[in-house]
Structure 1
Amino acid sequence: MTTTTAPPIRIGKPAVAALGLLAVASGALESVVTPTLPLLQRELDMSPAEGALLGIMLLITGALVTPVAGKFGDRYGGKRVLARLMAVVGVGGMVSSLAPNLPVLLLGQLLQGAMVGALPLSFILVRAHLPEGESKVAIGVVSGLFVAGGMAGTLSAGPVAEGLSRHWMFALPTLAVIGSTLLVNRLMPQDPPVRSDGTGIDWPGLVLLSGTLITLMLVLQLAPEAGSQPLALGALVVVLAAFVAGWIAAERRATSPLVDLHMLARPAVWKSCVLTFMICVGTSGALYLVPQLFDVPTDAYGFGAGATEIGFFLLPGTVAASVAGPLGGMGARRFGSRAVVTAGIVLMAGSLLVLAAVHTEIWHLVAAKTAIALGSGLCVTAMVTSTATSVEHGDTGIATSLVLVTRVLGYAVGMQACGAILTAGTPSGSHVPAESAFVTGFVLAGAVTALSLLVARTMSKGVTE
């Protein structure tokens, strides 16, 4: 192991401001798809299942890039890795903005997912160049600006897509990402590598996990067409099983695995992973279904909302998610993680089941989506706190990487399942799913969320409070 001998150069407010601008631009670029997904489905002639795949493609890349980005940052320096990852994000944004069809847009989103791994590197840079007290403030500011960027993207995506075009809703935040990245590169001092532990990157594990996630998405997307394409679906299931078996074998043999499967044997960790998966399935159900229901024409059973209106309707949920983090942290400290998680699950499950029964007014959807976002935020914060405090300090990164992969799986399965339900519930010759398909999706998401209470009950013994 090698360590740096020279103290890091202290950065000033302009450098922190540049990181803040990068966070705003990244948050805006990340959030433009959700409120405009119904519009994209119409313009690119996508099925609901294909729309769900588009909605989670960015998260899949993030789950793969994040653990690798940290190691590269240690080995080559955070600034160098951050600049290169944001260059990938810039390319992805431009590909998305120029995409003429779904496959090209999926490629763009795949590249944009590098921002999920790049943002934590900015926190590493802040910690490396500022004293502890100032670094906490700076990290809080950058985190808050990323959330603010997400809100700005949610609000602006619709007006830009409808007033200009869908191409500009990707291009404008991408140009902001490129400009702010150049500013960070100019103002942020170079940070030398902090260590080299000689373990290397688990490339076989990364490749096999990528294949597992992508094949799983294809299986879920093809599921509604199982009757017409049984052989294709069966072949994909076999390929998925092969990828999973190969990935497990590779991770068990790896010196420094991408995901330490041995840690899953610890009760605190596997319970956290199971809870995270089930909660994210419920959250993703609302995240996908609510905008789709807003978009249903008024002459059917929906509200005929455009992308601009959908962005405004989703904003309260975004605000609720941003305040849920601090509330969850304070609640976990005062009442314990189990109480916070239980409260969040009850709020989410109740809201999803109410949505299944009552969704005839806009305020029904807005209120329920806000409650679900609040409950999900409370659960995620409490679970992260529980996971981080239930393992040794040196194992925190490994444990949280397991939770990250599980979170992505939960979102992916939930959104693809709901997309498959809407696709299967769409009559031949129509682009409008039957209302019963939405009811089924909300009930399924609510039931999975409610079942997570069975795991939450054991947290007092399995998870450190």
Structure 2
Amino acid sequence: MASPVRVSRWSIGALGVLALALGTLQSVVEPALPQLQRELGVSPAEGALIGNTLLITGAVVAPVAGKLGDRYGGKRVLIRLMAVVSAGGLLAALAPNLPVLLLGQVLQGVMVGALPLSFILVRKHLAAGASRLAIGLVMALFTGGGMVGTLIAGPLAEGLSWHWMFALPTSVVVATTVAVAHLMPSDPPVRSEHRIDWPGVVLLSGTLLVFMLGLVRVTGAGLPPLGAGAVAVAVAALATGWVAVERRAASPMVDLRMLAKPAMWHACVLTLILTAGFGMVTFLLPQLFALPAEGYGFGLGTTDIGLLLLPGAVAGAVSDSVGGVTARRFGLRTVLVVGALVTAATTIALAALHTAAWQLVLAKVLIAIAAGLGNTALLTRAATAVETEDTGIATGLLVVTRVIGIALGVQVGGAILDSGADPATGLPTESAFAAGFAVAGLIAALSLLVIRFTKKGTQA
């Protein structure tokens, strides 16, 4: 491992600011989604696709980026991914219609790979104790970017145009990438006698891509039973092929023995459930804020929605930064149980209490704290439970699980609103929102069962 003295505070600072800029670019869509739906003339389910297109790419790229970073060096791969992100941000900023915007989101989605690559650099250049703090810092700044994106989306979209929501963060990504390239020491690649397991890369990427696209189609536009069955068969076939290849590969992309460790598969399952419920709430709240005030909505614009979502973004950033420390102090199991209880109680209460803005703001804060603590605690535990050379792929798998969970929650939320739309107005009914919040609560309650059955693996 590289000596800790090789990396300066400026290097870690540049890495953190890059994470902040990426979080901002990723989050500007959330408060502006109702405005984008109006200006582009799309339904809630189609609007959910705007954010999920980025997540689809992220789901494919994250584990691949982590593996390539482990092999060729985190800095080298990170700089190249940021060039793709910058191109995607520029394309979204210039997009004249929905298809071009979606293409820009596809390219921006490779930003998800920046997290495991950042963790590789942190693990290689810092001592164990300092690396835990740095991982929390990077996660907190990425989440803090959500706070910044939530705050600036409205003024930019309403004062200038929604195109500027993408243009401004993209310019910061370009500048901070240049800073990281100059300040961060290059981490030496891990030398191996074996080549990259490209068949494993292709099969895992194909599995994730088919799964995510199938998820969007099934919960969005809808698929007949035969189509849904075909998607399930394709995912199962690709996943089976991937497992077979990994078992025979001399240097597999993912060491299945690592994935079989309780610390890894417990973390993956719990992360998926926690983020699915969080994703539903993240999607439903802006939609409710934007509905006309004559009924049960609030009739708010993008700026006002951003301001109301801001406390939740702040709470998420703070909880992300202390998730690992909290789990070490009170125990991972305690953090997860308390978080699940808070999320379940809050979302179920929202099904009945959603007539005042403060109720929604408080709910977002509580859920963001619970999700931030739980997710970062699981990520930190997984990152430190594997060998240093496996940090990238291990954290990449956790990041992709987080991405899939959020995408699942967002698409399910969009599907519930579409299915509960008023035929006369085309707007979601109040009962559709109540059903969405109730489903999010049931998902959170499900995590309690998972924690119970994985008791031995969550005692640490």
Confirm or deny a common fold (TM above 0.5): yes
Q: CA deviation at 1:379?
A: 1.6
Change (3 A) 1:105 1:295: same
2:64 corresponds to which residue? 68
Q: Is the 8 A contact 1:61 1:113 kept in 2?
A: yes
CA–CA distance in 2 between the matches of 1:126 and 1:451?
A: 34
Query: 2:27 aligned with 1:31, yes or no?
Result: yes
Q: CA deviation at 1:163?
A: 0.9
CA–CA distance in 2 between the matches of 1:277 and 1:65?
A: 17
2:246 corresponds to which residue? 251
Q: CA deviation at 1:130?
A: 7.2
Q: Which residue of the other structure, out of 164, 183, 189, is the alignment partner of 1:168?
A: 164
Query: 2:89 aligned with 1:98, yes or no?
Result: no
CA–CA distance in 1 between the matches of 2:73 and 2:7?
A: 16
Query: 2:427 aligned with 1:410, yes or no?
Result: no
CA–CA distance in 2 between the matches of 1:228 and 1:80?
A: 41
2:173 corresponds to which residue? 177
CA–CA distance in 2 between the matches of 1:331 and 1:10?
A: 29
Q: Which amino acid aligns with 2:168?
A: L
Structure 2, unpaired ranges of 5+: none
Q: CA deviation at 1:309?
A: 1.0
CA–CA distance in 2 between the matches of 1:459 and 1:385?
A: 18
CA–CA distance in 1 between the matches of 2:73 and 2:382?
A: 28
Query: 2:443 aligned with 1:448, yes or no?
Result: yes
Decide which moves more: 416-425 or 363-372.
416-425
The equivalences for 1:246-285 within 5 A come to 246-285=241-280
Decide which moves more: 121-130 or 105-114.
121-130
Q: Which residue of the other structure, out of 49, 53, 69, is the alignment partner of 2:49?
A: 53
Change (3 A) 1:439 1:145: closer
Q: Is the 8 A contact 2:144 2:314 kept in 1?
A: no
Q: CA deviation at 1:196?
A: 1.6
Change (3 A) 1:174 1:330: closer
Q: Which has the higher contact order (CA 8 A, sep 6+)?
A: 2
3-state SS in 2 of match to 1:452: helix
Q: Which residue of the other structure, out of 310, 315, 319, is the alignment partner of 1:315?
A: 310
CA–CA distance in 1 between the matches of 2:250 and 2:308?
A: 48
Q: Which amino acid aligns with 1:363?
A: W
The equivalences for 1:13-412 within 5 A come to 15=11, 17-122=13-118, 124-125=120-121, 144-185=140-181, 187-188=182-183, 191=186, 193-223=188-218, 229=224, 232-388=227-383, 399-412=394-407
Q: Which amino acid aligns with 1:201?
A: I
CA–CA distance in 2 between the matches of 1:149 and 1:201?
A: 33
CA–CA distance in 1 between the matches of 2:247 and 2:106?
A: 27
CA–CA distance in 1 between the matches of 2:318 and 2:376?
A: 11
Instruction: Give the structure-1-normalised TM-score.
Output: 0.86
Q: Which amino acid aligns with 2:53?
A: M
CA–CA distance in 1 between the matches of 2:134 and 2:222?
A: 55
Decide which moves more: 24-33 or 423-432.
423-432
Deviations 1:46-77 (A, max 9, x none): 22222223223333333433333344345444
Q: Is the 8 A contact 1:259 1:402 kept in 2?
A: no
Q: Is the 8 A contact 1:314 1:369 kept in 2?
A: yes
CA–CA distance in 2 between the matches of 1:130 and 1:336?
A: 24
CA–CA distance in 1 between the matches of 2:120 and 2:265?
A: 28
Q: Is the 8 A contact 1:208 1:244 kept in 2?
A: yes
CA–CA distance in 2 between the matches of 1:83 and 1:226?
A: 36
Structure 1, unpaired ranges of 5+: none
CA–CA distance in 1 between the matches of 2:84 and 2:385?
A: 35
Change (3 A) 1:329 1:137: closer
CA–CA distance in 2 between the matches of 1:226 and 1:150?
A: 28
Change (3 A) 1:9 1:290: same
Q: Which amino acid aligns with 2:198?
A: W
Q: Which amino acid aligns with 2:202?
A: V
Change (3 A) 1:194 1:226: closer
Q: Is the 8 A contact 2:30 2:150 kept in 1?
A: yes
CA–CA distance in 1 between the matches of 2:133 and 2:323?
A: 19
Instruction: Give the structure-2-normalised TM-score.
Output: 0.87
Deviations 1:151-208 (A, max 9, x none): 22110011101111111110111122112223433x3366263422143333333333
1:463 corresponds to which residue? 458
Q: Alignment identity in percent?
A: 57
Q: Is the 8 A contact 1:74 1:193 kept in 2?
A: no
Decide which moves more: 285-294 or 117-126.
117-126
Change (3 A) 1:239 1:354: same
CA–CA distance in 1 between the matches of 2:220 and 2:70?
A: 46
Number of residue pairs matched by the alignment: 460
CA–CA distance in 2 between the matches of 1:261 and 1:419?
A: 35
CA–CA distance in 1 between the matches of 2:203 and 2:43?
A: 28
3-state SS in 1 of match to 2:49: helix
1:426 corresponds to which residue? 421
Q: CA deviation at 1:372?
A: 0.7
Query: 2:441 aligned with 1:438, yes or no?
Result: no
